[in-house]
Structure 1
Amino acid sequence: MPGIAAQRQALFAQMLADPSDLDAAFRYAALSAEAGDLEGAIATLERMLIFAPGLPRLQLELGVLYFRLGAYDTARTYLEGALSSPETPDEVRERVRPFLAAVEDRSSLQSLSGAVLLGGRYQSNANAAPESRTVNLNGIDFLLGDAAIRSADVNGFASGTLRYVHALPGQGDRFEVNLQSYGALYAERRELDTILGEVTAGPVFDLRRWRFEGTYLGVYAILGGVMLDADPYLVSGGVGTSLAKTFDPATQGLLRAEYRREEFRDSALRPTASSRTGDRYSLSGLLEHRLSDTLSVFAIGSGERRDADADFLSLWEGGATLGVTKTFVPSFAWTEAPWSATLSGGYAHRCYDDPDPIIDRVRSERDDEFFAQAALSVPVNDRWSIQSIVGYRDLSSNYDLRSFSNVSASLGVMRRF
């Protein structure tokens, strides 16, 4: 970084000539941090405390630098100091708060957090079935029975997430355990009653030790299972890795690659489920950017390969989702906590390896799926919130039996802890 080195040298000479020049000190510290010399940046700003003790901006920058260095107790001292002055500008307070929250999260040896959501859901096509009774199977039209065509239904559901974090000896390293669970009971289509759960566990490494600031590498094991209508349906296990990166205060990204071995179980209702047994490989990426304090956009890309025992169930899949989130406080709100509204939409394409001999002996299945969703989160207080989601899904396939559309709406109450 020859350009940065020359600028630092010039600014260093300027500081020697006028030790009270705060602007030169801030610029020198910023360049030092950019060059990876966090200790040099800290030393420069701490010298400035002699000339400007208690300056909120100075305490903020020192808090951020100590946070990046992993010295969370010292970072907390400076960040709290930046908030203590009644003359602290609003923009400084806004920058301090997320860093203080992150300090609390990372400095504790153990933490447990999670959420539970209870609610109800309506679907216009709960069983994801075609609207028409007539489908074409190998060139012959067949008439479907009532159970095989589109059916609306309602269900009650419960979902939960749990995250346990234990700090490891390496500064910034941690061990994480994440649990996701979901259960649904349907009013009519009881064969769709679902219980599922998945747990991941493994270490997360702070890559700052190799000068990758704001970058974390996770490696984890995966174990999951699904029951349908009280029958065991799927047992899965595998491994995954994640790479999280904060590019700047407004932009962050996440890459995730996972492998699962999936074992499907036959039952009286699903006697051929085991033909889906095989390997699943998935890759996904998320990029989120905050346009302002109340508006952010995100993009998700994903790809998947499934190798099933039955080749006509093996497939390639790719998709993308775009979305925007807006936070706001309505004039009639009973709390100062902001409401959150998210609009998203996306597309997915699936290509199956071989034709399904029962449906079409010549053509393999090709699916195009479009989906859109609107979600609203309304806080009741700092722990409770009301969650509502309206969604639309349309799947068009060259197999008549696979094409369907579905409108859904759900309302639930969430408790965070």
Structure 2
Amino acid sequence: MRLTLNVVRTGGSDGARNSWSCVPIGFARGAAALFSLATLLVLGAPAPAQAQQTAAADADPEFNALFYDSLKRPADVELAYRLAARATQLGDYEAAIGVYERILFYNPKVVRVRLELGRLYYRLGAYESARSYLQPISGDTALSPSEQANVTAYLEEIERRLSTNQWSVYAQAGVRYQSNASYGPSSRIIIGDDVAALLPPSYASKADGNVFGLATVRHVYDFGNQRGDVWESNLNLYYSQQFQIQRLNLGFVEANTGPRLALAPDALPGSSVRPYVLAGGISLGGASYLGSYGAGVSVYLPFSPYFSIEPFVEARQRDYQNSSDYPTAGFQSGGMWTVGAGLFGRITEGVSWRARLAYNDADATVPWYAYDNFNVDLALPVEFQGLWGVKRWVVIPSAGYSYYGYDAANPFVSRFIPRTDDQYRVGVALDVPIHEQFGLLTQVQYTWASSSLPNYSFDNFSVSIGPNVRF
């Protein structure tokens, strides 16, 4: 998702008052980062289609050695297990399936092999095949209680995914602390009307906390044809309530809907194209702040388990509304073009990567609110066996960079220095599953920015924690 707010000028002739306009934009971008980080890190790739598998194991010396040994000793179950495990580790699920099915040929009653086959077919998106292996072993006493619970969870998810109407929800609530909640400038000496000015204490950087809730809801209607065409709709929601700085209470809602059509089902299985329309709105300080609507198109290309890409282009109209806290917000209204891409892949069985690139070209009523913006974010989710639970824990380091270049100098700040900002962010998140559907997400992030004008340089440390649910 993309949540982008522009600079808000607060009005008045006092240069110092006009110059603290970084406050709402900084806070809004920080709140946007919280939602975007949760979406990028926890939800991951938008699963429009199954991943295309490749025979990556063929080039691995260890796999080849195990493979040729297994040809010599086809009845050696332990050797076959090692071969299948290595294929799975390399991401060659089809090779692993072949090995496990050979084990079943010699030992048709091995329950755990059926469990592994069910899991592998599920990862390939072959849900009917996965169900055919998992359903007969549901409740089998040869499995541990955690494995039985895992089988039940898989079967429930398979039924959901095979349904004509498929729903998925991710939600989180929590508490967040920020060392600079207002994203106030690093120095109280700022520029207003081309002269140095002292920022009023009420607009200096200030620590604060909030309670927040976010959710993303996806609905997929399966047309039931052989191509795999569906209609996909997404709803994103966010709200935060500050403990002290009430003018920064933020609400966000955006929905998009459109068909996802198979692009090249034979040449590139899983590829799709999706045109969509969107509409959304933002409230700030308890008042309506922004309404937007537009359309876009994306193309999903799953080249391999190690690299998939979904480029997109989007156009939207943004209509800002004035309020008592932001009386001149309306000057930011205008269109915006966005081009970018989501990229996804796996490095090893337990390590994946996700990235997002985007370029925005935003118009405005006055030129000093129009800007070009570039964003890049990268996350590296690493799964590992935690202290408890039937699912593995995930630690997610991340980093990002944003550039903002404004079309003209703001005469209320400086007539000669156009604003340019470089913003950096690093963070880490820990997703701890407590149950199959419930967990606890903790995020720590440090953000800092340098600017051509001292008014907009800042740094902020934030930490958030709260339970999450996905189904």
**TM-score with structure 1 setting the length:** 0.76
Kindly indicate whether residue 367 of structure 2 is the aligned counterpart of residue 311 of structure 1.
Answer: yes
Residue 374 (str. 1) matches residue 433 (str. 2):
no
Q: Which residue of structure 1 lines up, in the alignment, with residue 462 of structure 2? A: 408
In structure 2, runs of 5+ residues without a counterpart are 1-73, 75-97, 142-150
**Separation in structure 2 between the aligned mates of residue 374 and residue 189 of structure 1, nearest angstrom:** 26
Question: Which of these residues, 123, 126, 143, is aligned with residue 181 of structure 2?
Answer: 126
Q: Distance in 2 between matches of 1:77 and 1:181?
A: 34
Residues 26-82 of structure 1: CA deviation (Å, up to 9, x unaligned): xxxxxxxxxxxxxxxxxxx9xx99xx699989x979x97xx78x9x64x45666599
- The equivalences for 1:9-408 within 5 A come to 73=128, 75-76=129-130, 104=159, 106-171=161-226, 172-209=228-265, 211-330=267-386, 333-408=387-462
| Amino acid aligned to 1:114 | V
Measured after TM superposition, the shift of residue 313 of structure 1 is 1.0
Contact 1:325 1:340 in 2 (8 A): yes
Distance in 1 (alpha carbons) for counterparts of 2:362 and 2:153: 40
* Pairwise CA distance, 1:286: 2.3
**1:208 Cα deviation after fit:** 3.5
Give 2:353's aligned amino acid.
V
Q: Which amino acid aligns with 2:402?
A: A
2: CA distance, partners of 1:295 / 1:101:
26
Contact 2:164 2:224 (8 Å CA) reproduced: no
Indicate the SS of the match to 1:269: coil
Distance 2:388 2:132 in 1: 34
Corresponding residue SS for 2:469: strand
User: Which residue in the other structure is 2:93 paired with?
Assistant: none
Cα RMSD over matched residues?
3.4
Q: Percent identity?
A: 27
Structure label with greater radius of gyration: 1
Equivalent-residue separation in structure 1 for 2:444 and 2:107 (angstroms): 50
Q: State the SS of the aligned residue for 1:354.
A: coil
CA deviation after TM superposition for structure 1 residue 363, in Å = 2.0
| Range moving further from structure 2, 251-260 or 173-182 | 251-260
Q: Which secondary structure state, in structure 1, belongs to the residue aligned with residue 315 of structure 2?
A: strand
Contact 1:112-1:164 at 8 Å conserved across structures: yes
Higher strand share: 1
Letter in structure 2 aligned against 1:231: A
- Once the 2 structures are TM-superposed, how far is the Cα of residue 298 of structure 1 from its aligned partner? 2.9
Task: Provide TM-score, normalisation by structure 2.
Answer: 0.68
Partners of 2:276 and 2:350 in 1: how far apart?
A: 33
1:345 is aligned with what amino acid?
A
Shift of 1:102: 8.7
Gaps spanning 5+ residues in structure 1: where? 1-22, 24-44, 87-95
Matches of 2:135 and 2:250 in 1, distance apart?
51
- Change over 3 Å in CA distance of 1:98–1:347 after alignment to 2: farther
The structure-2 alpha-carbon separation of the partners of 1:317 and 1:99, relative to structure 1 and needing over 3 Å to count, comes to: farther
Q: Deviations over 1:135-169 (max 9, x none)?
A: 12243111111222101100001111111111124
Cα distance in 2 for residues equivalent to 1:218 and 1:101: 28
SS in 1 for 2:363: strand
Map of 1:13 onto structure 2: none
- Larger RCO (alpha carbons 8 Å, 6+ apart): 2
8 A Cα contact 1:320 1:347, kept in partner? yes
Distance 1:99 1:288, change over 3 A: farther
